[in-house]
Structure 1
Amino acid sequence: PAESIGGFFLPDRLLGLDRDAFLIAEHRGLPFIERSWSPTIALEIYNLRRNVSDGLSIEEFPCTSCLPDTVNTNIAYDIWEAGLYFRSKLSRRSMLELGIAYSPYRVSTDDFYSRELQAQISGSSSQYFRGTTYSGSYTFDYYTYSNDADIAPLGLKGYARYQFQPSKLLEEYEIKDGSLVPVFKKSNNHSSEIHMRYGFKTFGDQAFQARIRGFHYFNNPNDSFYSDYVGGFLGMRSYPYFALGGSTTGFASLSWFAPIFRNINKQAGPYTLDKVFARFFFETGNGWRSP
């Protein structure tokens, strides 16, 4: 915590806080290209930082006859990704996207005191992953208009995506000329993903939505860092994010949307309460070929 208002706004302190930052810029059309083909060019930059208190544990031996001692220090993860995407409509309801993204990840440690060496060890920062992702995807949207489209959309929507990612992941350190040198393991990952939703009505105002998602690596990356996960808010809500994963994953869900109150039309400032729905859902999924 900052000791004063001035200390709170110090750049070093602000840059060290947890953050989620992004920049998205779009431009329609390419110069020197006929207007009959006018793709949207998107530049997307993302940065996440997460601080983990006592996230690194180091085992030490303060003396030859002493039991092992553990020293903890804070660590921080910095994740960057910059991507350039070309999006072109194929029809009113479908779109093709081609993209390239570069992702460097870093981890840094705080200073700590070593009782074994009887010295202050300075913090360090090193890159533990870097990769370039080439992607191509086809997106379609056949949702139809309805009064409850914001809650229970009707129709078919989804995408199919292929990715090729040559990358390097930190595997270990080796000592060369008296200093630690990182050793990276190269991987060339080929993956595909499909995700579809279909909403439909039955009796009265009852609406249902079926959803499926599948992911598969064509190679077999032997590291959990590359695993795909199907838990969490955007996947299987009944499982934490890292609960189900692997080189091949799949899940399906069926949701039932039932109206409880309609035509409420109550407004408080910029907020409007229009209707209340209940949602009941069933889901199933699994992960295979997990390292």
Structure 2
Amino acid sequence: MAISLRQRALRGDRLIGVLLRMPSEELVEMSAVAGMDFVLVDCEHGPADVIALRHHIALASVHGVPVIVRVGEDDPGQILRVLDQGAQGVLVPHIDSREQADAVVASALYPPDGTRGFATYSRAGRFGTVPAAEHRAWFLENTLVLGMIESPAAVAAVREIAGAHRLDGLMIGPSDLAAASGPADPSLSEAAAAVDAALRAEGRLRMDIVGDAAAAQAAFSDGAHLVVYNLAHSLMNHLEHLVEGRPWPRRTPTGPTPTQPDRSPKD
């Protein structure tokens, strides 16, 4: 098997991918053909169920592109199912404490490092054709376990969270963090600095979400190991740019009057 996404990240490769929350096999394939290092499928805010997700993972594997899945909050059952279908990693939202980080790791890894239910007859075990010991050893070594920092409480506890055994890294969820923060809480830039410092101190990976190539380059220059584009954000920007080619005034949408769109990348 080719080197895993986790091993590439740990050896220092700078990896770029897309956050896909719209179920679409074509977008998975287009991302692979374009040269993305990974696809992050969103099962927290996105509508994809396990069947659609399996199709996405299977198609990505044809192109040799690994898939990470953002699961729902506090859902060890979903972590089990997405890994059984062949995802190489999980991204878990709303990690506010070391205890929650430890629970995520336990759900994602086989014993002795975790409590993930063991099965070799799923897609991840090539339907029972991989010897049990080999299957367990590969996933213990190569499952990428990432968490999200999305509240002031998480920022305050980030050093303890980042120190959780076998938690590979963290990503800030800027939208949730901004929504959860009040005037007395650290600003987004201050929170980002605190998270970055904790990750550096603990030797963990940092994932950033960005809106365009310039922001991706800036994130890598600032120390990010994995950078992900919000594909819906990028597609909407592109579609709105294409509409500007029409010489007539922009069509007035039906329904409620839209507000001015927020151009910041959403998580």
Indicate the TM-score class for this superposition, using the shorter chain for normalisation. Answer: under 0.3
TM-score, scaled relative to structure 1: 0.26
Would you tell me which structure has more strand in proportion to its own residues? 1
Would you tell me which structure has more helix in proportion to its own residues? 2
